[in-house]
């Protein structure tokens, strides 16, 4: 049985003024690697444990918080996968070959490296991966803990390396909606409202006095003879059920509230709250699959993911 692997996003960004040289060192040299900083601490061997302890002492001495990248490197196992990005916006996928080790390069502010086998994938990746790189204050590293992203990443690496390093769980691809990452699920629901319900998207968020309810976006109807405004909230299959009555402030302002979640309680108490069912979304997906974003449909068949131009 294949051991569980971690999928992680990492920014190749140390405190160097030579970032292009840093990325070339990591991705374009014969011995590819991922790198983190703290070249300011003194250490004599390539033992990562000793380097880690030295950095912990240094950081705590300055009353600062330990960067999660240190623990990610410490915990990295052979065959774990990382996504990174170069200065051209191209995404790379990297397989860990050996445990992390200390490696001093003061010019590039490298204190430790993680030996990897890396391949350039291209500019288009699923939205959940892309969003992790673009998130404000996202930090150096982030775990990507979505089953579909795990299987996608394993498939991509197998394809680019030409080796079957990983077994692919194809059941992930057979139930697209159940396994869509949050970002893609939101996009599917918003597409449903625009195509089937006749709305168009006004913005990616809505400002409201309520601080307890997160709204994905605001929409308005296309019918000029029956103008309606709407908001939507989307929750994945592992989330808690929603309480329809918590959306009363929106209903009082004449919004229609569309909810997609594992369950919605107190729906009967509201007149403008509409629950989108999984069956409705599945029917929509089957009928309109041809015009939906590839970031959604690519999870249906992992063997057809964006490689036509690479073959």
Encode pLDDT of 155-213 as tens digits: 899 999 999 999 988 776 667 777 787 888 999 999 999 999 999 998 655 444 444 56
Tokens 């968020």: give the residue. Answer: 205
Look at residue 183 in the predicted model and tell me its pLDDT.
83
Assess whether the region 7-169 and the region 179-295 belong to the same CATH fold: no
Per-residue pLDDT at 57 exceeds 70: yes
pLDDT digits (tens, 9 = 90+) for 83-95: 999 999 999 999 9
Per-residue pLDDT at 60 exceeds 80: yes
Kindly indicate whether the domain formed by 7-169 is annotated with CATH number 3.10.590: yes
More reliable by pLDDT, 264 or 125: 264
Centroid of chain to Cα 143: 8
Dist. CA 157–CA 198, nearest whole Å: 40
- Residue 94 burial (C-beta neighbours within 10 Å; 0-12, 13-18, 19+): buried
The whole-model pTM stands at 0.71
Tokens of 16: 């160097």
Considering the chain, what percentage of its residues have pLDDT values greater than 90? 61
Per-residue pLDDT at 82 exceeds 90: yes
Look at residue 308 in the predicted model and tell me its pLDDT.
41
3-state secondary structure the chain: CCCCCCEEEECCCCCCCCHHHHHHHHHCCCCCEEEECCCCCCCCCCCHHHHHHHHHHHHHHCCCCCCHHHHHHHHCCCCCEEEEECCCCCEEEEEECCCCEEEEECCCCEEEEEEEEEEEEECCCCHHHHHHHHCCCCCCEEECCCHHHHHHHHHHHHHHHCCCCCCCCCHHHHCHHHHCCHHHHHHHHHHHHHHCCCEEEEECCCCCCCCCCCCCEEEEECCCCCCCEEEEEECCCCCCCEEHHHHHHHHHCCEEEEEECCCEECHHHCCCEEECCHHHHHHHHHHHHHHCCHHHHCCCCHHHCCCCCCC
| 79 contacts: CB under 8 Å, gap ≥ 6 | 3, 5, 95, 96, 165, 166
Q: Which residues pair with 113 in a beta bridge?
A: 35, 101
Query: Are the C-beta atoms of residues 108 and 16 closer than 8 Å to each other?
Result: yes
Fold adopted by 179-295? Trna Endonuclease; Chain: A, domain 1 (3.40.1350)
Q: Report strand pairing: 255-260 vs 273-275.
A: parallel
**Domain range list for the chain:** 7-169, 179-295
pLDDT digits (tens, 9 = 90+) for 214-240: 788 899 999 888 899 999 999 987 788
């Amino acid at each position: 049985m294949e051991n569980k692997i971690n999928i992680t996003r990492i920014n190749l960004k140390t405190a160097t003024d030579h970032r292009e040289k840093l990325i070339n060192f990591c991705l374009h040299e014969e011995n590819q690697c991922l790198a983190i900083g703290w070249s300011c601490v003194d250490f004599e061997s390539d033992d990562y444990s000793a380097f880690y302890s030295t950095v912990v002492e240094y950081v705590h001495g300055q009353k600062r918080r330990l960067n999660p990248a240190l623990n990610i490197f410490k915990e990295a196992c052979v065959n774990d996968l990382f996504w990174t990005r170069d200065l051209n916006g191209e995404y790379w996928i990297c397989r860990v070959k050996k445990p992390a080790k200390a490696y001093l390069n003061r010019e590039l502010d490298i204190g430790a490296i993680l030996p990897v086998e890396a391949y350039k994938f291209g500019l288009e990746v699923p939205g959940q991966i892309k969003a992790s790189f673009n998130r404000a204050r996202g930090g150096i590293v982030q775990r990507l803990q979505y089953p579909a992203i795990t299987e996608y990443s394993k498939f991509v690496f197998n394809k680019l390396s030409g080796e079957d390093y990983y077994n692919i769980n194809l059941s992930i691809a057979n139930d697209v909606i159940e396994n869509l990452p949050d970002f893609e699920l939101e996009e599917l629901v918003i597409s449903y409202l625009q195509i089937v319900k006749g709305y168009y998207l006004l913005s990616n968020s809505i400002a409201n006095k309520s601080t307890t309810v997160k709204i994905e976006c605001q929409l308005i109807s296309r019918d000029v003879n029956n103008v309606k405004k709407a908001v939507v909230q989307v929750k994945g299959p592992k989330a808690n059920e929603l309480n329809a009555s918590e959306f009363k402030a929106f209903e009082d302002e004449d919004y229609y509230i569309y909810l997609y979640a594992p369950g919605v309680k107190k729906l009967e108490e509201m007149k403008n709250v509409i629950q989108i069912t999984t069956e409705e979304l599945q029917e929509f997906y089957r009928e309109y699959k041809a015009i939906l974003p590839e970031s959604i449909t690519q999870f249906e068949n992992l063997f057809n993911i964006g490689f036509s131009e690479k073959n």
